[in-house]
Structure 1
């Protein structure tokens, strides 16, 4: 069932918003790339033009040259590693205690105009299904300024830190509390550690947790969660996303919920009790 879904079945496809996009998507999305309508945000206008001109395996793809935050002008801190660029200043007294501190050394600044996620014209008509955000410390504030999209999203992926690696950073706790209050629940967590800047840093059996990659899914079954509009297409996307993330037990719980609402039929529901139905 799930492996045979088409763009038409999904009311145009899976609408995927990637904030702070860099590199390719995780391989787990490859089996459904042809169903994805991808919108990526990167403040580099020249890079967006280049990426928009490249061929793509997605159903559709658009790169938008915006820095996403609160709609105000901010300083962009250009660090030694482009992957550590942030609108927040690196917290060097803290980072200097760790072996990867050189990646965060500021080599220049630039004033940039930011845009609220809910105000971006390119995504106003879109009913968003997936949000991925990697903002180097601003995940919660970006999502707060995109609550319309958060309330539509079935799946949100973020990379918050456990400590203030940037001055005033939104930590994991901040992000998790915000998303729980919007009806999303933590489903997966990949942990990242860093060695301290001393002779035992690289050989220490355990190093300090520094940041993570978390996945939150909307708890559509919870009676306190009001998720509208809940259509057959949105239900099928939710099941497909559970298959992509290997959240099969939640997927089956959703299937029972959707079946009760008449969004999937008896045969579809019966097939979803078998693990092979979830293989893409």
Structure 2
């Protein structure tokens, strides 16, 4: 994959217009799916904290360019917004946690409200304007409850021309007024995207107090997290553009095809490579088709080997 990604992204189309990757709720590390395309891409990352508003440009973290906005991002244009700090910093949000809905899960203490502060705020649209950019190729948002609002705040053209969108919504109202998974599915149903991934994430249902009294010792608790049944609570969703828009540029078609390969949608990628040959008569699509076939074969044998190992392990026990 690295060779074909380099071959595609070294083309003139991407020298003049590099991929733009937007990361809302950045973790400080390169998103795993972006590692091979990062050196050719512009990343715009949003990191909420209480420092003075700042935009920093860095080029030493794996990306061609990395812009970090030290503020929260929302669908609003207000300079500052209330930010609700929870016991776990990963659960802090512009929305207030719904205590009634989280109380019956073992991680409920993470959502305990510590205090509310005001932080600098920006919308993605405003951030793009500051950077003189008018497009987003891949949007990844884990905003603790406002994923859909953030997408909808973008101009329709930017939304529709995105090539990949990742969400991480709840399946219930973990936060008051949360954009949950069903609202995202309903909205995206009318867009020219298709659902590539829907990975349900689970947590043990039961009060934290009951769980804490089950076992003594840290090891037992760790084992319990693995062995006890878990209930669905949130989901990781990935959408890919169907690339069926009339007069789509070869730049967008190639990048959308590459994103399809990164998401391991090899059958779709094969069909797109064949379609690309007819549309653009460019030899790059022959190379891509060969690469996709190689990936399919490699994936087949690795999966077959893994399944055989699993069978043997099960037989032992």
3-state SS, counterpart of residue 106 of structure 2: coil
Whose helix fraction is larger, Structure 1's or Structure 2's? 2
Judge conservation of contact 1:15–1:126 (CA < 8 Å) in 2.
no
The alignment status of 1:93 with 2:93, answered yes or no, reads no
3-state SS, counterpart of residue 5 of structure 1: helix
* Aligned CA distance change for structure 1 residues 219 and 47 (closer, same or farther; 3 Å): farther
> Which of 173, 177, 182 is matched with 2:182 structurally?
173
Q: Which residues in structure 2 correspond to 1:58-69 (within 5 Å)?
A: 58-69=63-74
> Which of 10, 14, 20 is matched with 1:11 structurally?
14
What does the per-residue CA deviation read over 1:203-226, in whole Å, with 9 as the maximum and x for residues that have no partner? 7753211111111011123xxxx4
Judge conservation of contact 2:270–2:289 (CA < 8 Å) in 1.
yes
Equivalenced residues, count: 272
Judge conservation of contact 1:2–1:277 (CA < 8 Å) in 2.
no
* Aligned CA distance change for structure 1 residues 277 and 93 (closer, same or farther; 3 Å): closer
The alignment status of 1:149 with 2:152, answered yes or no, reads no
| 4+ long deviations beyond 6 Å | none
1:44 aligned residue: 49
> Which of 245, 250, 255 is matched with 2:273 structurally?
255
Q: Deviation at 1:50?
A: 9.7
2:63 & 2:70 partners in 1: Cα distance? 19
> Which of 226, 246, 249 is matched with 1:231 structurally?
249
Q: Which residues in structure 2 correspond to 1:93-242 (within 5 Å)?
A: 93-112=100-119, 114-120=121-127, 121-147=129-155, 148-196=157-205, 197=207, 198-199=210-211, 202=225, 206-221=229-244, 226=245, 230-242=248-260
2:266 & 2:131 partners in 1: Cα distance? 30
* Aligned CA distance change for structure 1 residues 164 and 123 (closer, same or farther; 3 Å): farther
What does the per-residue CA deviation read over 1:88-137, in whole Å, with 9 as the maximum and x for residues that have no partner? 10011111111001111111101245333223323552422100001000
Higher relative contact order (CA 8 A, sep 6+): 1
> Which of 59, 69, 77 is matched with 1:71 structurally?
77
Q: Structure 1-normalised TM-score?
A: 0.85
Q: Structure 2-normalised TM-score?
A: 0.76
2:146 & 2:77 partners in 1: Cα distance? 13
Unaligned segments of structure 1, at least 5 residues: none
* Aligned CA distance change for structure 1 residues 260 and 66 (closer, same or farther; 3 Å): farther
Deviates more, 1:90-99 or 1:29-38: 29-38
3-state SS, counterpart of residue 151 of structure 2: helix
Unaligned segments of structure 2, at least 5 residues: 215-223, 299-317
